[in-house]
Amino acid sequence: MRRLDARAADFEAGFAALLDARAPDETGVGAPVREILAAVRAEGDTALCRYTERFDRLALTPDALRVTPDEITQAYESTTPELLDALKLAAARIEAFHRAQLPSDLKYTDEAGLTLGMRWTALDSVGLYVPGGKAAYPSSVLMNALPAKVAGVARIAMCVPTPGGVLNPLVLAAARVAGVDEIYRVGGAQAVGALAYGTATIAGVDRIVGPGNAYVAEAKRQVFGHVGIDSIAGPSEVVVVADGSNDPYFTALDLLAQAEHDELAQAVLITDDAAFGDAVAAAVDDVLKTLPRAAIAGRSWADHGAVVIVSDWGQAASIVDRLAPEHLQVMTADPEGFAATVHHAGAIFMGRFCPEAVGDYVGGPNHVLPTSRTARFASGLSVFDFLKRTTTIAASEDALLRVGPAGVALARAEGLDAHALSLSARLDALGWNGG
Amino acid sequence: MRRLDARAADFEAGFAALLDARAPDETGVGAPVREILAAVRAEGDTALCRYTERFDRLALTPDALRVTPDEITQAYESTTPELLDALKLAAARIEAFHRAQLPSDLKYTDEAGLTLGMRWTALDSVGLYVPGGKAAYPSSVLMNALPAKVAGVARIAMCVPTPGGVLNPLVLAAARVAGVDEIYRVGGAQAVGALAYGTATIAGVDRIVGPGNAYVAEAKRQVFGHVGIDSIAGPSEVVVVADGSNDPYFTALDLLAQAEHDELAQAVLITDDAAFGDAVAAAVDDVLKTLPRAAIAGRSWADHGAVVIVSDWGQAASIVDRLAPEHLQVMTADPEGFAATVHHAGAIFMGRFCPEAVGDYVGGPNHVLPTSRTARFASGLSVFDFLKRTTTIAASEDALLRVGPAGVALARAEGLDAHALSLSARLDALGWNGG
């Protein structure tokens, strides 16, 4: 863990180290991913089964790729009532927030007489990639699937790797709660290839979303353009801005909740109270003695964690903007006021009783957020990921007479004569004398 | 040109050929682009100048990379008043439409007592790539720069290659009209590298937009994640849906306005009147005899053009959706009614006096649109490309008591103990007895 004092002369050097990319090593994945995608495109299910056997140690025939309704029902029915209720509460809250997020169409007639519009329509089909193994989280199934449902996507196909054939039953239960019943036990670049190009068993989709490992990220990059993709997810991070009135133990838990995700995760405390910073650091060390995922969380905290002391909240806000964190938790006397001064953050959690974990599960807003400083330009998953815009223009004869001549001038200047003629021929027919 | 009859038995075979990708050959650009990006990242301006000399036959020192204020002023003042007025009319209309497009923030307190929000903020900096040579269009400068301005982007850096040192003065005039004064005479993958990683002369940006050749597209793909990018633009297309009441000559011009862009462009007429289809095809041949860009337009029409005869407008709409065209022009008795039945199109132009060229210049909506069937999942350039969303959650103690227990249950089920503890420790402090 780094201790940085924003008032000190050597702050910039230490801060630069903190900003250093924590990107996983992706060198060398380009070529194997290209090979996998080409094989899936050419051979379809045969290649899918071959790679699933190789990478997931699971021998499958094409007819077993799809998870059966019985398997889903069995998983759903084996879920405890408490967990089912929790999944349903989370789903209802996520659905409500994303419904509030739905944008409105636009339509107006302007003073030139043109009627201009913009309308939103849902994608026909999307693919959800759900990581397997340690990161197969039912909450992520809800967070990925429900915005697509709310947007009105008719077909949602989910791919989840099942290393050794093991599939978290809660992932299936969450899929059932979210209304997703098309699920395939396939992962990695081969799953991305199947979703992008389609196979006999898995029909192609229009857009692929969801986080994955370096192979999945590279595969999404390579199929981009043929289908849409979401952001490439990197290791995640939290910045906690807290004054000395907070409970050091609570604050330590908030930092560790991020650190326990991944050794590359980053947890940063920014405070104006150096003694509080020390108390939180001591509490972190204390909790690490008993935390089940202490090996991961401890590594993350040691390598990428930091306590930054600032002279005031203005300085804190400017440091937050430079970190552009995925998660920002604000526990000061005026969290709303502080949040208003921040430009770059994926999601902001405000109040001493609003830890980031609220947003991971039951807050309502999406927990799939821009990581690794991409909040400078990217946004969390939303209904916008599953909608597209079509603009419309309607022009009457009079409207064309008003705006057409300028179009003719520009088209001629660009050397595009058919463009100019398509306007001027009509203007001429309307009695224009300008051309 | 293909003649297809949607009522005929062999329609699907002919239509499949029409759907065949018109993607430019990008094989083999991956490796050279990787090399260029690595060199720009390592050597900065030195590499920029080296590649500019190699690819654009232009020897430069770093201090000459940026276009000077004098050059911009000179270009602006050399523009005819007619063209300046046309640029200004176009700019005012583009600005007005994109201002209408600006989304609203969201904020509400729900029945559980959580205050949820979503706010939009502008990117700090964006890079605009403007193609050089034959495709250096001033209208595209307006279409790329003005949405960023309207969104509130503080810094806009434009890169445009100047092969042999030649720069279209209208491109500079359009930049002045759009309020862009940071312009660099550099193009290709090296420009994308400079915008993504920054050099001593060109500071890095957060997002890169604008179309380019295969090298530019591949470079954008490779820097994606480090910065944001827009869609990868492919060859463009128009579908004109017209009944027999239209003027065949006007309709032919509309098709050729697309065909004259690029030999890979695609122009398709869909009509319910076979005789009208023949008349339009004859008019196309006729116009091609005198059209200045007949070589390009003729090639496009011969290779990728089509006239499709349909039995009714319902059939036409389903064919449009399968083509998911960049541009859809509707000239029927009820264009609004027809447009409402279409799901996939970048932009729709309605009415017999609203050719697509209106939208290229003076309509107001953006002319940078999803090409090559990507309208299935992608949208035209807009203020949304220059904004990002931050979600917010504020919870009181009471609110945490209502939703927190479900979060604890889910966190425990996912094996994320610090997540669970960050909630349950607070709940315990509030007198919770559930954990």
Residues of A in contact with B376 (CB under 8 A): 123-124, 206, 388
Report phi then psi at B54, rounded to 5.
Answer: -70, -45
Indicate yes or no: CB of B228 within 8 angstroms of CB of A377: yes
Contact A366, A383 (CB under 8 A): no
Percentage above 70 pLDDT, chain A? 97
- SS3 readout for A20-41: CCCCCCCCCCHHHHHHHHHHHH
Q: Tell me: pLDDT of A301 over 70.
A: yes
* pLDDT of A133: 66
Mean pLDDT (chain A, rounded): 93
Residues of B in contact with A320 (CB under 8 A): none
Q: Tell me: pLDDT of B21 over 80.
A: no
A98 known ligand binder: no
Q: Is A152 helix (H, G, I), strand (E, B) or coil?
A: coil
For the question of residue A327 being annotated catalytic, the response is yes
A190 known ligand binder: yes
A304 known ligand binder: no
A330: closest chain B residue by CA: B394
Stretch A13-42: mean pLDDT: 81
* pLDDT of A230: 85
Q: How far is CA B412 from CA A357, B108, B373, B399, B419, in A?
A: 12, 29, 44, 20, 8
CATH annotation of B30-100+123-232: 3.40.50.1980
Q: Report d(CA A389, CA A380) in Å as an integer.
A: 19
Indicate yes or no: CB of B253 within 8 angstroms of CB of A206: no
Task: Give the residue extent of every domain in chain A.
Answer: 30-101+123-231, 234-377, 396-429
Closest CA to B385 of B94, B65, B102, B72: B102
| Alpha helical stretches, state H, B127-247 | 138-151, 169-178, 188-197, 214-223
DSSP state of A134: G
pLDDT-derived band at A18 (thresholds 50, 70, 90) equals confident
pLDDT 10s digits, A224-268: 888 999 877 778 899 999 999 999 999 999 999 999 998 989 999
Stretch B361-369: mean pLDDT: 96
- Topology match between the domains A234-377 and A396-429: no
Q: Report d(CA A89, CA A389) in Å as an integer.
A: 31
Mean pLDDT (chain B, rounded): 93
* pLDDT of B17: 76
* pLDDT of B434: 72
Q: Report d(CA B393, CA A329) in Å as an integer.
A: 10
pLDDT 10s digits, B329-358: 999 999 999 999 999 999 999 999 999 999
A311 known ligand binder: no
Stretch A284-301: mean pLDDT: 96
What angle, 0 to 180 degrees and rounded to 10, lies between the N-to-C axes of helices B417-429 and A248-259? 160
CATH annotation of A396-429: 1.20.5.1300
* pLDDT of B26: 62
- Best to test chain A binding among B258, B321, B422 (most A CBs inside 10 Å): B422
Closest CA to B358 of B238, B248, B231: B238
Q: What one-character-per-residue DSSP string does A217-273 give?
A: HHHHHHHBTTBEE-PPP---EEEEEE-TTS-HHHHHHHHHHHHTT-TT-EEEEEES-
The owner of tokens 């003065």 is B169
Instruction: Quote the minimal CA–CA distance from B315 to chain A in Å.
Output: 18
3-state helix, strand, coil in chain A (%, to 5): 50, 15, 35
Q: Which of A95, A218, A304, A327 is catalytic?
A: A327
* Active site members of B: 326-327
* pLDDT of B214: 85
* pLDDT of B399: 97
Indicate yes or no: CB of B403 within 8 angstroms of CB of A347: no
Q: Tell me: pLDDT of A380 over 60.
A: yes
Stretch B52-71: mean pLDDT: 95
Residue type, B314: G
**Residue in B221, B379, B406 nearest the CB of A362:** B406
Q: From start to end of B6-148, where are the E strands?
A: 106-109, 115-122, 125-129
Indicate yes or no: CB of B336 within 8 angstroms of CB of A394: yes
**Residue in A250, A354, A396 nearest the CB of B425:** A250
**Residue in A250, A405, A422 nearest the CB of B422:** A250
Task: Say if strands B266-271 and B237-242 run parallel, antiparallel, or are unpaired.
Answer: parallel
* pLDDT of A231: 77
Closest CA to A338 of A30, B282, A346, A329: A329
Q: Tell me: pLDDT of B118 over 80.
A: yes
**Residue in B343, B409, B426 nearest the CB of A83:** B409
pLDDT 10s digits, B142-166: 999 999 999 999 999 999 999 988 8
Q: Is A158 helix (H, G, I), strand (E, B) or coil?
A: strand
A360: closest chain B residue by CA: B407
- Best to test chain B binding among A221, A361, A385, A432 (most B CBs inside 10 Å): A361
Q: Tell me: pLDDT of B82 over 90.
A: yes
ipTM for the complex?
A: 0.94
Contact A395, B353 (CB under 8 A): yes
The CATH topology of domain B395-429 is: 1.20.5
**Residue in B96, B366, B409 nearest the CB of A110:** B96
- In sequence order, what are the residues at sequence separation of 6 or more whose Cβ sits closer than 8 angstroms to the Cβ of residue B214? B24, B25, B26, B29
Q: Report d(CA A97, CA A86) in Å as an integer.
A: 17
CATH for A30-101+123-231 (3.40.50.150, 3.40.50.1980, 2.60.120.10, 2.60.120.260): 3.40.50.1980
Instruction: Quote the minimal CA–CA distance from A362 to chain B in Å.
Output: 6
Stretch A300-316: mean pLDDT: 95
pLDDT-derived band at A435 (thresholds 50, 70, 90) equals low
Indicate yes or no: CB of A416 within 8 angstroms of CB of B114: no
Is A92 or A26 the better-scoring residue by pLDDT? A92
Residue type, A113: G
A387: closest chain B residue by CA: B377
Closest CA to A98 of A157, A138, A146: A146
Indicate yes or no: CB of A358 within 8 angstroms of CB of B397: no
Q: Report d(CA B306, CA B283) in Å as an integer.
A: 14
Return the minimum-mean-pLDDT range out of A75-79, A199-203, B222-226.
B222-226
Residues of B in contact with A410 (CB under 8 A): 83, 86-87, 90, 138-139, 361-362
pLDDT-derived band at A10 (thresholds 50, 70, 90) equals confident
Residues of B in contact with A404 (CB under 8 A): 358, 362
Instruction: Quote the minimal CA–CA distance from A209 to chain B in Å.
Output: 12
List the structure tokens of A425: 């021929």
CATH for B2-23+234-363 (3.40.50.1980, 1.10.8.60, 3.40.1230.10, 3.40.50.450): 3.40.50.1980
Q: Report d(CA B138, CA B127) in Å as an integer.
A: 16
DSSP state of B434: -
Residues of B in contact with A224 (CB under 8 A): 221, 224, 232
* pLDDT of B16: 80
pLDDT-derived band at B136 (thresholds 50, 70, 90) equals confident
Residue A121, strand partner residues? A388
The CATH topology of domain A234-377 is: Rossmann fold (3.40.50)
Indicate yes or no: CB of B287 within 8 angstroms of CB of A418: yes
The owner of tokens 């194997």 is A32
**Residue in A116, A254, A388 nearest the CB of B377:** A388
Indicate yes or no: CB of A393 within 8 angstroms of CB of B354: yes
Distance of alpha carbon A256 from the chain centroid? 21
